[in-house]
Amino acid sequence: MRRIIFLTLIICFIISSFIFADEEEIIVEETTGQELIEMPVKNEIKESPVEYEKDFLDFIKLRTEKFAEQDMCGECHSDIFKQWKGSTHSKAFIDPIWRAATKLFYSESKTIGQVLEIKLCVNCHIPLGFTSNIINLPIDNYNRLMELPEQGAFCNWCHNLKEAVNIGGEGYMDADTTEAYSSTMLGPRDDPRWENPSKDNKAFHPSEYSEFYSKSDFCGLCHNMYQPDNKLPIVQTYDEWKKSPYNTNDPKTTVTCQDCHMRQKPGIPATGSTLRPDNSGQAADGGPYRDNIWTHYFAGGNSIIPKLLGSEMHSYLAIEKLTNSAGLEIIRDSSYEKGKASQIKVKVTNSGAGHYLPTGMTAIRQMWLDMKITDRDGIMIFRSGAMDKEGNFDKNTILFNTVFGNKNGEPVMNFALADKILYDHRIPPMESVIENYSFIIPENTVFPLKVEVILKYRTASPDFVKKLQVDKVSNTEIPVIDMVSLTEKIDL
Ligand code: HEC
Ligand code: HEC
Ligand code: HEC
Ligand code: HEC
Ligand code: HEC
């Protein structure tokens, strides 16, 4: 709807610029007369006159750029800026996996429902492209957003949300973003102030307290997605959290997304099974010291993209998160005998994540159990979860992920084509699953047996990356993270 109004406006503008050449001035005044002027912005664009000969889209671009330049935020919020800059939030639009996936998925979409789904792709990954009408569709030339490609989910967008509707639904498109790009920054403080402003930093933007920022609902805007057509859940992180024991419905005891993802810093993984201490410091350079400042690393399980795009630190933080997410336990039978069919069970507990393990784009992510039983002399008795050179698993591997299927029940990687869920095996928060392995102990086995089990994770399967032909990400580069491991001996 908004887009229709917008297009009408463009057409009206073009027509009127021909007919009423004099009215240009009025229009320019209206569009530049925003509150942002109050912001102490060091931006030439603000001072320079609007170039009339540029077309309307350029004009809008200029305007949005002026309001959205992130480096400007970094002039005062230097720590938060650095944390955000290396995060996948800032890389969401230049992420080569996302770029390749959207282009490919778009080319495969045929029905209206599928195209509708693909149209959504840009919303969460590049809200600036979407709101400025420069990048609306994966078919658009992504390089059109030339000067500010590294926006992704950016400071201004996140800090201008007055309220939001359809949280946890298929898009924040309906959210009240009319305030977007205004100079008022909404956030968790009701007492924002300078303690020690430098000479040229006497003033800062107006701010407004909003409790919305400290709620998981805020993250739910983008971390929950349904196929718009058939309502098939694609990403369910927010819904998973909402139903979990971490959500007590009491703000005092609820553990929010922010509690785990915005308390993390190097050495502090901040998960359900580790401490989540306050992070004392300053939110702005020259601002007051506070007991807790919310960090902006936003680390999850993705250790490929941050490293590929320049931040080893953020990859490391993802690994710290993953290695503090789960617990393993080996459950043995009462006795084991040579020549007999035997069983051993492995209990995997989601002890650290506030949602399913794994969560998010679980059609792409893979978590699995690597299980090995050898005898005293190292002779292999049982193996599951091994990988070949191409990175493909043994047939008997226990995988934790989601597989989507099309109308005919055939597996599809493109979730826009998905009509059903063929397989969804993951672990709910604070819950466990028990996996059973059967094997035969050969007569010549020398006890004790050695049972080695490792829970492993990778951001994407080699198949997926190969299919996408992702720039720069070759199969071998997909790191496999050992989340947790356990070794036990079994005597006769
Ligand atoms: C409602 C918001 C939203 C929409 C709409 C959306 N995404 Fe995403 N996307 C996310 C979030 C959140 C993540 C991170 C989740 C995770 O880490 O598992 C993500 C991650 C991804 C990734 C993984 C990137 C990586 O580096 O591993 C790909 C690929 C992707 N999205 C493709 C798409 C495509 C294709 C579309 C359109 C069909 C789309 N997204 C639409 C929110 C969205
Ligand atoms: C001239 C310096 C300056 C610039 C530039 C600046 N800020 Fe701030 N900002 C501050 C100061 C000072 C505070 C108050 C810090 C405190 O009280 O701990 C603050 C507070 C905030 C808050 C918390 C508001 C609240 O009430 O909870 C947010 C959010 C924020 N800034 C976002 C931004 C964003 C986004 C940008 C870039 C568009 C930006 N700031 C640019 C100085 C600045
Ligand atoms: C994905 C959304 C998102 C992005 C992007 C984002 N922020 Fe925030 N920011 C938040 C949330 C949510 C909080 C409050 C967390 C809470 O209260 O639990 C916050 C808190 C803050 C605060 C107050 C910190 C404190 O503890 O006093 C400042 C200042 C701030 N952000 C500035 C920025 C700047 C500058 C950028 C860009 C470099 C940025 N934010 C990017 C979501 C975001
Ligand atoms: C504007 C939409 C948007 C909002 C709001 C948002 N995110 Fe994200 N988030 C994304 C997208 C898109 C990605 C994936 C980017 C990529 O990898 O291409 C992402 C990635 C992440 C990741 C890393 C995922 C991984 O695989 O490692 C974490 C963690 C995360 N977000 C947490 C949060 C939290 C916590 C909040 C709330 C404070 C939040 N996000 C709010 C869009 C959003
Ligand atoms: C109790 C702590 C905790 C809470 C609460 C929590 N998370 Fe996480 N999150 C984790 C841990 C640990 C991981 C790493 C394991 C994994 O990938 O699931 C993680 C991973 C992620 C990932 C990356 C998933 C992947 O495998 O690609 C995203 C995205 C994410 N969280 C978003 C959120 C959002 C959004 C919320 C709130 C709705 C939230 N988290 C609440 C602990 C938490």
Tens place of pLDDT per residue across the chain (492 aa): 444 444 444 444 444 433 333 333 323 333 333 333 233 332 333 333 333 233 334 323 433 444 455 677 888 899 999 999 999 999 999 999 999 999 999 999 988 888 888 888 888 888 777 776 778 788 888 887 665 556 788 887 888 777 777 776 655 543 444 444 456 788 999 999 988 877 666 677 778 899 999 999 999 989 998 887 888 999 999 999 999 999 999 999 999 999 999 999 999 999 999 999 999 999 999 999 999 999 999 999 999 999 999 999 999 999 999 999 999 999 999 999 999 999 999 999 999 999 999 999 999 999 999 999 999 999 999 999 999 988 899 999 999 999 999 999 999 999 889 999 999 999 999 999 999 999 999 999 999 999 999 999 999 988 888 888 876 776 567 899 999 999 999 987
Residue 297 Cβ inside 6 Å of ligand 5? The answer reads no
Residue range(s) of every CATH 2.60.40.10 domain in the chain: 326-490
Closest C-alpha residue for ligand 2 atom 30? 185
Q: Which bound ligand lies closest to the C-alpha atom of 360?
A: 1
DSSP element (H, E) containing 19: helix 2-19
Which pLDDT score, from 0 to 100, does residue 112 have?
A: 85
How far apart are the CA of 36 and the centre of ligand 2, in A? 13
What one-character DSSP code corresponds to residue 49?
A: P
Closest C-alpha residue for ligand 2 atom 40? 73
How far apart are the CA of 206 and the centre of ligand 2, in A? 8
Which pLDDT score, from 0 to 100, does residue 20 have?
A: 36
Radius of gyration of the chain (CA): 26
**Contact by Cβ (8 Å): 96, 88:** no
Q: Which bound ligand lies closest to the C-alpha atom of 305?
A: 1
What is the pairing mode between strands 185-187 and 207-209? parallel
Rounded CA separation 209/266 (Å): 28
**Contact by Cβ (8 Å): 455, 352:** no
Q: Which atom of ligand 5 is the closest one to the Cα of 367?
A: 26
Q: Which atom of ligand 5 is the closest one to the Cα of 272?
A: 1
Residue 92 Cβ inside 6 Å of ligand 4? The answer reads yes
Class of residue 280 by CB neighbours under 10 A (exposed 0-12, middle 13-18, buried 19+): exposed
Q: Which bound ligand lies closest to the C-alpha atom of 353?
A: 5
Q: CA of 150: how far to CAs of 102, 160, 401, in Å?
A: 17, 19, 30
Task: For residue 97, give both structure tokens.
Answer: 């996996």
Which pLDDT score, from 0 to 100, does residue 65 have?
A: 46
Enter the pTM of the model.
0.90
How far apart are the CA of 87 and the centre of ligand 4, in A? 9
Closest C-alpha residue for ligand 1 atom 34? 121
Range 326-490 has CATH code 3.90.700.10: no
